[in-house]
């Protein structure tokens, strides 16, 4: 099975089909520099964006499934727990926990300074408040 190729440019994330690399299947435009890595789980692509959004995209067609906004840019990768909670950090001094189904912010924690690193979760981590 071939993996899809992910390319970044200064203002776009482009995901290409390995069999037709000249035709992008997802081209997400962002107003600021793209400085993150995409995470693909169960046909969803999770990314942080230079415009402050934390996005879940449909991997097949690139449609935006949800996209809550932080108060500053997201310059790191997101992490996803086994029970489908998405964790992201932002330069707005917060770490966020989002519901992976609808993008609702479950909680945020203010750190006191900009957070430019990716959240790290233990392999079997589950959100304590999850059902």
For residue range 39-71, list pLDDT tens digits in order: 777 788 888 888 888 989 887 777 889 999 999
Report how many domains make up the chain.
1
**What pLDDT, on the 0 to 100 scale, is given for residue 37?**
67
27 vs 93, residue with greater confidence: 93
Q: Three-state SS for 61?
A: coil
Place of tokens 């917060």: 94
62 C-beta neighbours (distance < 10 Å), count = 16
Q: Is residue 117 part of a domain?
A: no
Q: For the ranges 75-79, 83-87, 127-131, which has the lowest average pLDDT?
A: 127-131
Kindly tell me if the per-residue pLDDT of 34 is higher than 70: no
Q: What percent of the chain has pLDDT over 90?
A: 27
Q: Is residue 72 part of a domain?
A: yes
Of the pLDDT bands very low, low, confident and very high (cuts 50, 70, 90), residue 80 is confident
Q: How confident is the model at residue 123 (pLDDT cuts 50, 70, 90)?
A: low
pLDDT at residue 10, rounded to an integer:
43
Residues with Cβ within 8 Å of 67's Cβ and at least 6 positions away in sequence, in order, are 53, 54, 55, 56, 103
| Domain assignment of residue 98, given as a range | 5-110
- Residue 124 is assigned to a structural domain of this protein: no
105: which 2 tokens?
Answer: 């912010």
Residue 90 lies in a domain: yes
């Amino acid at each position: 099975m071939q993996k899809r190729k992910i390319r970044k440019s200064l203002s776009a994330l482009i995901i290409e089909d390995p069999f037709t690399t000249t035709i992008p299947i997802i081209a997400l435009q962002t107003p600021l520099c793209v400085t993150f890595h995409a995470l693909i789980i169960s046909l969803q692509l999770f990314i942080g964006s230079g415009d402050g959004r934390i996005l879940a995209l449909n991997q097949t067609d690139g449609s935006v499934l949800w996209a809550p906004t932080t108060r500053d840019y997201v310059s790191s990768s997101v992490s996803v727990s086994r029970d489908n909670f998405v964790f992201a950090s932002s330069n707005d001094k917060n770490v966020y926990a989002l519901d992976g189904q609808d993008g609702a912010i479950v909680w945020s924690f203010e750190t006191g300074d900009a957070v430019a690193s990716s959240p790290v979760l233990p392999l079997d981590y589950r959100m304590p408040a999850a059902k």
